[in-house]
Structure 1
Amino acid sequence: MPATVLVLVETINDYLPILEQQGFHLILAPTPGERAEAIKTHAGQINAVLTRGPLGLTAEEIASLPRLEIICVIGAGYEQVDLQAASNSGIAVTNGAGVNASSVADHALALLLSLVRDIPRADAAVRRSEWPKVMRPSLAGKRLGILGLGAVGLAIAKRCANGFDMQVSYHNRQIRSDVPYTYCATPTELARHADFLVVATPGGVGTRQLVDKNVLQALGPEGFLVNIARASVVNTADLLQALEQRRIAGAGLDVFDDEPRVTDGLKTLNNVVLTPHVAGLSPEATEAMVELVGRNLIAHFSGQPLLTPIALPPAN
């Protein structure tokens, strides 16, 4: 009998035939209502769950799925998956770390270029038959700070160092000996040495509100912030105040605290560029992520080692 996978992700339908061709039976539940109904109706047959970091899977949901064996997370982040509950129930968890790094890095640069060069306002002006000549900074030779030098952060660093001759610094949980970039001991120190600060660290308790008013003050009135990671890494109230008071020059944001709702204050500012959490979405990245999910599912149900397992806390 084929394993049944509950699919909570809303953006991958075109690539789900990859899993179906591998023999998995899929139950699609991309909305909160469909999710609750699917768990209630099909609890006894669901063997795996496919989710995203912000969608997660709660302890209550895990407890209500008696045949659940594995949770596969699309993308790197898994902050809303209850790892303790998974561990307590002997359920494996995997993610897609690094698979969409190129897409996210591309989007980070797109946000940075749009923000620093003020592309959205220039485009809007031309559409109104206006022809403003506004002086905007160049990216070449500037100082880039990256908060989190994992696969995404490293891809951003390479693009900026090699493509724009930027001086790259980073803050990370650990110093990396395999990169030529400058390590900064704290996020505040990193911001102090940056013209552009890019947030690329995973979400979760360990990184919550790393970027606060002190970091933003260190970034300064000519500094720009880009966040393509998780909204929880940045204190939104502090950021909004810094933007309103022009204590930083601007921000490019792809992630928000209460998606899909966005703080009204951000929508009214002309020194921000906003996108709807799409940095990791590209045909190439999505296909690769679903293929990785398939390989992890096949490995699990055939008793082989998982490709990208998440370390779980001890069961209690």
Structure 2
Amino acid sequence: MARNQKVAEFDVLVPVEGIAKIGGEIEQRVTLHRLWQVPDREEALARLAPKIKAVIATSHHAIVDAALMRRLPNLQIVASFGVGYDHIDAAWAGEHGIMVTHTPGVLDDEVADIAMALTLAAVRQLPQAERYLREGRWPGGAYPLTASLRGRTMGILGFGRIGKAIARRAAAFGLDVVYHGRAQQTGAPFLYYPSLIGMAKACDILMVAAPGGAGTRHIVNREIIEAVGPEGIIVNISRGSLIDEEALIVALREGKLLSAGLDVFENEPNVPPALLALDNAVLLPHVGSASRHTRQAMADLMIDNLNSWLDGKGPLTPVPETPWKG
């Protein structure tokens, strides 16, 4: 089938607004329903439900849970934009014969770069130093000395593609690298810790790079945070739900943790005022993969997944819960 040929009676639901390119390209082949544009979402969903064969989750704000999928009796595939897919009930989808795809691989380096940038910014107080200069305070004296990366150990929580990309960068910076995950990985040239608390006690930079979801919610709790220590740094580039935000705020405020670098938060885009008030927290608005180059690559892979499905070839990058059996 030609790539620009319309597929008869293939309706696709887009719950929330996302990158325009995705909808524009997909619409050449399918009938697209942009749910966020209709005045009455419930009425539209009830009317469209029997027609919908695919859902495009263009951001992690597009919740595709069992409740939504139950309403779509002819749903075949959920195509997600991003490597993380905790906003989709992939287990339920797999149990009910629904394919779920995501966009791994194409954003690893971009996110790993931001992970190291946050690490440097947190340990060397780079945003604070820049403010010092901009506020005209330099003529009154040099900026105070900061902590250093020298002699530190980075413990990486989650050792998938992004975790490995971070490890390569951290090693190039001269850091010792250790990791914790569900299981030890054959061939990984770094020390594995079977328990998170054990790794937290052994490292002074805790890099959070594990998937989100119910199984990892608040996995970095008060005990883990305090185990990293008063000279320690916590960096999170995965999902805000992995860290107990309140416990992190208390530790930063009370000097039980040196600093934190965060690109993600529990209730995005709302960041707690108490966290904003802390000068020892470096905060970014979830920009880990937000370069034009990488977002284009993510969009292309998402579109390619859906096009491959429409062509009867199956998905390119299915999630583990919904493997393609051909």
- TM-score between the two structures when normalised by the length of structure 1: 0.89
What SS is found at the alignment partner of 2:78? strand
Alpha carbons of structure 1 residues 140 and 36: separation in structure 2 relative to 1, 3 Å: farther
Pair member with larger Rg:
2
Identity %: 38
Instruction: Compute the displacement of 1:156 (Å).
Output: 0.6
Instruction: Compute the displacement of 1:20 (Å).
Output: 4.3
Instruction: Compute the displacement of 1:205 (Å).
Output: 2.2
Look up the match of 1:95. Answer: 102
What SS is found at the alignment partner of 1:47? strand
**Matched ranges for 1:4-83 at <5 A:** 4-8=11-15, 10-14=17-21, 16-20=23-27, 23-29=29-35, 39-40=45-46, 42-51=48-57, 52-83=59-90
1:297 equivalent in alignment to 2:303:
no
Listed one character per residue, the Cα deviations across residues 64-118 of structure 1 (whole Å, up to 9, x for unaligned) are 2233211011112111212344245422111112321111111111111111111
Distance 1:182 1:67 in 2: 47
Look up the match of 1:159. Answer: 169
Instruction: Compute the displacement of 1:15 (Å).
Output: 5.2
**Gaps (5+ residues) in structure 2?**
1-5
8 Å Cα contact 1:54/1:79 also seen in 2: no
Look up the match of 2:3. Answer: none
What SS is found at the alignment partner of 1:226? strand
Instruction: Compute the displacement of 1:180 (Å).
Output: 0.9
- TM-score between the two structures when normalised by the length of structure 2: 0.87
8 Å Cα contact 1:147/1:197 also seen in 2: yes
**Matched ranges for 1:1-316 at <5 A:** 1-2=6-7, 3-8=10-15, 10-14=17-21, 16-20=23-27, 23-29=29-35, 39-40=45-46, 42-51=48-57, 52-131=59-138, 132-162=142-172, 164-312=173-321
Alpha-carbon RMSD across the aligned residues, in angstroms, is: 2.5
Letter of the structure 2 residue corresponding to residue 66 of structure 1: P
What SS is found at the alignment partner of 1:293? helix
Alpha carbons of structure 1 residues 250 and 34: separation in structure 2 relative to 1, 3 Å: farther
Letter of the structure 2 residue corresponding to residue 106 of structure 1: D
Aligned length: 312
Distance 1:247 1:255 in 2: 21
Quick check: 285-294 or 298-307, which moved more? 298-307
Alpha carbons of structure 1 residues 25 and 243: separation in structure 2 relative to 1, 3 Å: same
Distance 2:99 2:91 in 1: 11
Distance 2:255 2:70 in 1: 48
Distance 1:252 1:96 in 2: 25
